[in-house]
Structure 1
Amino acid sequence: MGKAARKKGPKKDRAPKVRDVFVGQPFEGLAAEPELIALREFIPSATVELSLVDSTDRTVTLGTVLPMAAAAFVRSDGRAYIGTQVQTRSSDISRDLGRAIRWVLDAKPGDVLSVPDTTTPPAEGERLQDLLVTGAELEPELHKDFSWWLPEDADSSGEVGASLERANEAIMPTERIGPGAYWVDAGEKAHLRWVRPEQENLLLQALARLSAAGEIGLGEGSRYAGSFRAHGLLVPVWDLDPEAHAREWEEGAKQLGERLDAALKSLGTEPLNAAERRARDGLIGRQLTLR
């Protein structure tokens, strides 16, 4: 006789599997894409009010880092914040931030969302592209510290106070000198980090055209250092003379932007020549790691 058939018990209900598909360009389609990337990746302390599609009595402010790296919180005075630089993330940062916005709209003063919801299956209408006015641009307000975490009359002692002190100590002086363009004092060097909205290959060709012509710098005391990728866009970086103030580079950055725009436009009718192709290959080899 063969083995007796085993009795099968009732099937247990299993939680549906969440299909977590990585989104390489989470802010695509938003006019504020470069600023959102900068807020997420390298601006230390900044805030900006969001323009939401649906009207609400509550103003939602996007910040870089919140207390304890929380995803969202409501201050004791009722002001609502969501954070871009968090400890936990899903494969779609836009969805994480959208869910934080939805959470904060219904939260009460003192409520904290420690981490974004990364386990609930994706649903329609919960990404930034669904919740923000698509064409609205952002101009973040940069801060020298994180005092905006607390109302003016708040007690800054205890755990939040300690987190505030640690965060303040880590800030590197940073200033915005143009759309997506940020000067940062890193100590021995200063840098310009410029989040560009163009498709990577086109931007590299335009930079190569400027490099071959000796026009890739911002003026005396600047040097093109390389680039890094962030959320689907390329971020070129220049080393700058640390003795010069951020405002001294505004005109150079403006003129460089105009040269870049002209180079991008010329690509439609003038392919790269041999020298420019060599310059492009050199630029591709100068990839940076942001620390």
Structure 2
Amino acid sequence: NQLAGLHRTDGVVLLALQTLAGSGDLSRDLAANLLETIELEPGTPLLRSDLPEAGPRLQDILDLSQPFEVEVRDGFDYWMSPDEELTPEIKEELEDLADSLIDTVKLDTVDSAYWCRMGAKEFLRWSMPYDEDAVINGIARLHAKRESSIDGSKFLGAFRSCGIVIPVWELVRGTEAEDISAPAAEFWKSLKAAIENTEPLDSNERRARAGIISRQITLR
């Protein structure tokens, strides 16, 4: 996505998280894009091709005392201001983009976990805003004991996106979001305890960790 930001005609500022270029410091990149987008005239997109110079990072310019709430949308109509007139061409383009989306539902029983359907399979993607090593070690502890499954699911591995590690489970075929909500909440009790465990890994746990690490990928 080459569009780094958008200042909508109604004054709302949108910031893209996954773009093609970066300095290696995602927080700095996002802060630079946000500050520049705010200064744009309403109705103007930010197309960034150069890298930002040294400056504040995202946590330096946001009010971290405010709650962070995630809202999952099933289309891209939020790109447009409510008062903007949509031409048939724009409507068709937005509909085509919406058709390409992965069906995603945010679980309401735990933080940052998302049920997804890709093709004929269902998955649970669980964003972990915790230290990556602690998360991987925690899952390795459970995996070594064959306790990394959630209600019959299969733990596949993890990927990184925007600096966050995201473990993934393949769910039992046909599982809906409401089916996995309660089991995920119950599983979190074990996972949280494993993440907070600071004891050194034993040999079986180290082997499990090595397997998890070998399957990790990073999405940019």
For Structure 1 versus Structure 2, the TM-score category normalised by the shorter chain is: 0.7 to 0.9
Structure 1, residues 52-89: CA drift from partner, whole Å, max 9, x if none? xxxxxxxxxxxxx7xxx522222222322222233443
Moved over 6 A (4+): none
CA distance in 2, matches of 1:114, 1:154: 21
Match of 1:215 in 2: 147
Residue 128 of structure 2 is aligned to residue 199 of structure 1: no
Residues 1:263 and 2:194 are matched in the alignment:
yes
Q: Tell me the SS of whatever aligns to 1:141.
A: coil
Pairwise CA RMSD: 2.7
Matched residue of 1:71: which SS? strand
Q: CA 1:255–1:190 in structure 2 vs 1: closer, same or farther (change >3 Å)?
A: same
Alignment check: 8 A CA contact 1:86 1:115 kept:
no
**In 2 relative to 1, CA 107–248 (structure 1 residues): closer, same or farther, beyond 3 Å?**
same
Q: For the pair shown, which has the larger CA radius of gyration, 1 or 2?
A: 1
Q: Using the aligned pairs only, state the percent identity.
A: 33
Determine helix, strand or coil for the equivalent of 1:142: coil
- Change over 3 Å in CA distance of 1:285–1:114 after alignment to 2: closer
Instruction: Give me the whole-angstrom Cα distance separating, in 2, the residues matched to 1:204 and 1:88.
Output: 28
CA 1:289–1:243: 2 relative to 1, 3 Å: farther
**Distance 1:204-1:113 versus aligned 2 partners, 3 A rule:** closer
The answer as to whether partners of 1:190 and 1:240 remain within 8 angstroms in 2 is: yes
Number of aligned residues: 218
Does residue 283 (structure 1) correspond to residue 216 (structure 2)? The answer is no
Between Structure 1 and Structure 2, the one with more helix by share is 2
Query: Match of 2:106, SS?
Result: strand
Give the Cα–Cα distance (whole angstroms) in 2 for the partners of residues 211 and 288 of structure 1: 19
Question: After alignment, is 159-168 or 197-206 more displaced?
Answer: 159-168
Q: TM-score, normalised by structure 1?
A: 0.65
Taking the aligned partners of 2:18 and 2:89, their CA distance within structure 1 comes to 19
How far off is 1:248 after superposition?
1.6
Which residue does the alignment assign to 2:6? 73
Question: Where does structure 2 lack aligned partners over 5 or more consecutive residues?
Answer: none
Question: Any idea what the Cα deviations from partners look like across 1:80-121, whole Å, max 9, x if unmatched?
Answer: 2222233443332222221222223333222221226x3452
1:112, 1:289 → 2: CA distance? 27
| Cα distance in 2 between the residues matched to 1:92 and 1:282 | 28
Q: Look up the match of 2:167.
A: 236
Q: Equivalent residue of 1:175, what SS?
A: strand
Q: Comparing 243-252 with 273-282, which one deviates more in the overlay?
A: 273-282
- The answer (yes or no) to whether the contact 2:7–2:45 under 8 Å persists in 1 is yes
Instruction: Name stretches of at least 5 consecutive residues in structure 1 with no aligned partner.
Output: 1-64
Aligned 8 A contact 2:125 2:168 in 1: yes
Matching of residue 182 in structure 1 with residue 111 in structure 2: no
Structure 1 position 152 matched with structure 2 position 82: yes
Are residues 1:250 and 2:181 paired?
Answer: yes
Question: Which residue does 2:156 correspond to in 1?
Answer: 225
Per the alignment, residue 201 of structure 2 pairs with: 272
- 1:38-57 aligned at under 5 Å gives the runs none
Separation in 2 of the partners of 1:175 and 1:241?
16
SS of equivalent to 2:59? helix
Cα pair 1:87 1:115 within 8 Å, conserved: no
Paired residues of 1:190 and 1:241 also in contact (CA < 8 A): yes
Distance verdict in 2 for CA 1:276–1:80, change over 3 Å? closer
Deviation at 1:231, TM superposition (A): 4.4
The corresponding residue for 1:107 is: 40
Find the aligned partners of 1:203 and 1:195 in 2 and give their Cα distance.
Answer: 10
